[in-house]
Structure 1
């Protein structure tokens, strides 16, 4: 079992979703972002402590060497990582950066319409656009402040 799979199994077992795992270049820092979709208000400090304590135990049992573990919420500008994220956050404003330019552009902002057939649909100021899911380098929600 690789590290991501181990962390995903542990976090899911606690009732959370593993959003993203970031590793420092030498693997000494493990940064884990968790979410709990059904929880109003999102993940709080107590949730992070619960997951951190459990992950610390699991990493010790599995003899995984690291210097520091950080567990946090994905934040208001949550990254969209999995295909399911594109359905879950349909209707919200997103920023998308492509690895491969489309129409001489790599950056797109707009309302996420969803993902179907390997294409992410986005409503931009200039009209609807479809982007290849496989070409997305980074996608994030745009925070809304009232």
Structure 2
């Protein structure tokens, strides 16, 4: 725990937020950082220069504290950023997230959700009080190349309300679009 606190103090002293510290049996020490979030402020991304700056400072601090490690890795949280604190949930409200509950939901909600289900992907929304909610649609799977009728009604929207202490893990769902950027009209932009 002293190592975590030392790394956290160093990272915060440089103006960043510590997301995660991982140690592997092979001597790898992985530190994940991000910019602190301020509501309403533009989103800042972690750059290679930010990681280099934190790496250099951590190397000095860890040497002084005589921490045994073989390799230090400092990185951004990536597209599947873990959500751990209330502030993370507030920051990413409305985003697509993957949740894993500590225990299955038990009684199925109106018979639509399997009682042993623990994993969910959907839009994160604020619930009442300190609770949160995830909203999703369980669309039936389609085969590759299968046409889907425009007249087919969408699957019913489902919601699950949860408290943060009921979660085993929560992450942003990695959504990658390899087709390029879209203009507001829906046309692909010319990226020349």
Q: Secondary structure at the match of 1:105?
A: coil
- The match for 1:124 is 136
- 2:61 pairs, out of 42, 58, 63, with 58
Alpha-carbon offset, residue 130 of structure 1 = 1.0
Deviations along 1:96-144, whole A, 9 cap, x unmatched? 1122111321101111113765533212223221123123122111234
Alpha-carbon offset, residue 3 of structure 1 = 1.1
Alpha-carbon offset, residue 16 of structure 1 = 0.6
- The match for 1:105 is 117
Normalised by the size of structure 2, how large is the TM-score?
0.68
Unaligned runs of 5+ in 2: 106-114, 138-156, 182-192
Normalised by the size of structure 1, how large is the TM-score?
0.88
Q: Does 1:138 align with 2:161?
A: no
Q: How does 1:30-109 map to 2 (within 5 A)?
A: 30-36=29-35, 37=37, 40-102=43-105, 103-109=115-121
Q: How does 1:11-22 map to 2 (within 5 A)?
A: 11-22=11-22
Moved more, 12-21 or 39-48: 39-48
Unaligned runs of 5+ in 1: none
Deviations along 1:80-103, whole A, 9 cap, x unmatched? 122210111101110111221113
Aligned residues of 2:127 and 2:161 also touching (Cα < 8 A): no
Q: Secondary structure at the match of 2:54?
A: helix
Alpha-carbon offset, residue 4 of structure 1 = 1.1
Alpha-carbon offset, residue 65 of structure 1 = 1.2
**Corresponding residue pairs, total:** 145
